[in-house]
Structure 1
Amino acid sequence: MNKSVVVIMTLLTFCGSCGKNEDQNPPETENRYTMPEESEKHEGTWLQWPHQYQYGVAYRNSLDPTWIAMTQALVTSEKVHIIAYNEAEKNRITGLLNSAGIPLTNVDFKIYKTDDVWIRDNGPIYVRDKNGNLVIQDWGFNAWGEKIDDQSGDPIQFTNCNSIPSKIGKDQNIKVVDINSIMINEGGSVEIDGKGTLMACKSSILNNNRNPGMTQAQAEELFSKYLGVTNFIWLDGQAGLELTDQHIDGFARFGNASTIVTMNTDDLLDFDVKQSDINKLFSAKDKNGNPYTFLKVPLTLHNVKKTDGTDLGYKGSYINYYIANNKILVPNYNDPNDAVANGIIQTLYPTRTVVGIDVRNLYENGGMVHCVTQQQPAN
């Protein structure tokens, strides 16, 4: 994301052995949880609908069409769980969906106050415990290292978004594993191949604005324990480059257990990925020591322009797509390379249909489709 930002809040200090309940203090050698890979069957997808209460009506209205398009694509794939700020917003959203002719059979609503739309980063992380039961992990969220402001330029609160996983768990009667006091970790910071490998940029995790003093070994121990991974692909990333301190899911994703979807070297450099990180990415190996296959998707041909014609001054990435049960939601930008990217990504998912989602207005804030969706695996 590219929004400049500032927020004040005390970051809880990492403590690897001071968990507040038994779920935070399992035997150190035991991997108690496993995170399903995104392409596994979903029960549904979670969306936090844009509202006016943080950034104003114009912001909300500019993003509504993207959320309508995502809902339209997803309702024929799986359930769509929409988080609305209040009853008035629920009624407004219902009206938008009805006007678009979208059936509500597969749609349900939860009324929770939210601070923003980025549910990939603040929402529930669904994992399976050692008995195969689905549980929710509630990792700490502090607005990407305490840096974002509201429409008036004042620091925003992010406690509403940070409380979303626990609220969902309570409503669904699903066990919630509280990791807030152990580690700050956004969902967009990590990629999982479903076979024991995690890919991430150190800059968005091993950063004193999230986890002061945490070492790489400590982070790996936590990821092994809570996500069930044993092999790590670490890129350095660039702290301060943009809002997220360079989330991995903007430029490199696991398309499947053997494929990394990314860009060619020139486009990665244009996307501000360091050459040293590009070298590490292309030399990555899975937990068995096998090299990955790389599917390379171009950036947009032109700089992205919002729907009102405003030139954002940078190109758009297609890598931040979302894998649903029978659809692939790919960010699109009204650019000649939309069709090229959609076609390349389609080759990786022959049993799913690629749907282009216009994210031009959302992209002003740095995010794309993957950033604003969160999967709930099937039981």
Structure 2
Amino acid sequence: MNKLFTLTFVMSFIVSMAQTYHFPEESSRHEGTWLQWPHHYQHGVTYLKRVEQTWIDMTKALQTGEKVHIIAYNNEEKNRIVSLLEQNKIPLKNVDFRIYPTDDVWVRDNGPIFVKDSKGNVVIEDWGFNGWGEKFESENCDQIPQRIGKDLGMKVIDLNEEMVNEGGSVETDGNGVLMACKSSVISQKKGAIRNQGITQQEAEEMFETYYGVSKVIWLDGVTGLDVTDMHIDGFMKFVNHNTMITMNEDDLLDLGLSEKDVNTLYTASNTDGKEYKKVYLPATKNKVKTAYGKQLDEKGSYINYYVANTVVLVPNYGDPNDQIANTIIQKQYPGRKVIGIDVRNLYENGGMVHCVTQQQPAGN
């Protein structure tokens, strides 16, 4: 009996050690979308007034097809947001609130990564978050996955001591392939370090286990070009395991990618060894000007869109290419309605729609 018990224990331990997880592709069914609502406690009232309309527009579009989980800084903020949504005649039936202090709005990077275990149960992965290499305060935002897991009564896999990982730094095709830039994951350059001393192989092993992929494709990226050190969700997105949506070579080079990275991106292949079909989106025709009139130095990207159950939220800039990009994206998602979201003021702060949304997949 003792030998049988010991064997059973050892086998169950081996199985538990071999547990891998699957990160559902963004276009798979959602239970809901998480948003961290902007507030004045970090960047002031003027900032809040400039960016808040983007969250109103996203909530209005999302609540028609799934839950919208809004993280409010405190109860006072919650009440203010409720009044704001009611003023905009947005139904609250599919909207709920969680009260957690946050440092900022970028829930894609600091929020929970929802995955499924081998039994199909949805669980939360809580990766480390250090403010994009300790560039900004991150203590409040780093706690968000644990807070959500506790409130939902959902299992949380604590990876804080294992690896820092921002959701916007990786893209998966839902069928075994993950793509990322070294610059925002494993760079050891001062001012950009997420993971001190990590090797490429160690990062790949973590992705294989916790995203459920079998192939990792690395671009070099650019360290120090922006706050994120070049997140991949600004210029490349998988539509499915056969198709990627990206930009033409000139636009990618303008963004700062090297010719080597462009070649790696364009020749990337799926787990069947087939090169991805590519759909090309333009950049904005003009450099972006904020809604309050400030001229920025960069053109805008449309790649940073978000796929929800019934809609696709696409960053728009009041630019002639908005409609062209919306139409191209609409063709990729015929069962969903493309809705342009004005991100001009948010773009000044370094992000677009995908950066401020995080999907929670539906359960079995």
> What TM-score does the superposition give when structure 2 sets the normalisation length?
0.94
State the secondary structure of the residue aligned to 1:219: helix
Report what 1:366 is aligned to: 350
Given the alignment of the two structures, is residue 191 of structure 1 paired with residue 171 of structure 2, yes or no?
yes
Contact 1:31 1:228 in 2 (8 A): no
SS in 1 for 2:149: helix
Q: Which residue of 2 aligns with 1:55?
A: 43
Distance change >3 Å, CA 84–CA 374, structure 1 → 2? same
Separation (CA, whole Å) in 2 of partners of 1:214 and 1:271: 27
The equivalent residue for 2:62 is 74
How far apart in 2 are the matches of 1:193 and 1:221?
17
> Residues 297-317 of structure 1, C-alpha deviation per residue, up to 9 Å, x if partnerless?
000000000011100111000
What residue number does 1:210 align with? 194
Matching residue within 239, 242, 250 for 2:234: 250
Using the TM superposition, give the Cα deviation of residue 203 of structure 1 relative to its aligned residue in structure 2, in angstroms: 0.6
* Aligned counterparts, 1:1-379, within 5 A: 30-148=18-136, 157-208=137-188, 209-379=193-363
In the TM superposition, residue 184 of structure 1 has moved relative to its aligned partner by 0.3
- The answer to which structure, 1 or 2, has the higher relative contact order (CA under 8 A, 6+ apart) is 1
CA positional deviation for 1:95: 1.1
- 2:238 aligned counterpart, secondary structure: strand
Tell me, which stretches of 5 or more residues in structure 2 are unaligned?
1-12
Larger radius of gyration: 2
| Matched-pair identity in % | 60
Q: CA deviation at 1:30?
A: 2.6
**CA distance in 1 between partners of 2:309 and 2:181 (Å):** 28
Contact 1:302 1:315 in 2 (8 A): yes
Deviation at 1:27, TM superposition (A): 7.0
Once superposed, what is the RMSD of the aligned Cα atoms?
1.2
How many matched pairs?
A: 347
Partner Cα separation in structure 2 for residue 26 and residue 165 of structure 1 = 27
Residue aligning to 2:4: none
Deviation at 1:48, TM superposition (A): 0.1
The SS at the match of 2:324 is helix
1:313 counterpart SS class: strand
d(CA) in 2 for partners of 1:221 and 1:324? 29
Find the aligned partners of 1:262 and 1:28 in 2 and give their Cα distance. 38
- Counterpart in the other structure of 1:152: none
Cα distance change of structure 1 residues 27 and 280 upon mapping to structure 2, 3 Å threshold: farther
Query: d(CA) in 1 for partners of 2:14 and 2:258?
Result: 38
CA contact (8 A) 1:34 1:228 kept: yes
Residue 128 of structure 1: CA displacement? 0.7
Q: TM-score, normalised by structure 1?
A: 0.90
Question: Which amino acid is 2:131 matched to?
Answer: A
Q: Provide the secondary structure at the position in 1 that maps to 2:229.
A: coil
Q: Deviations over 1:168-203 (max 9, x none)?
A: 000000000000000000000100110000010011
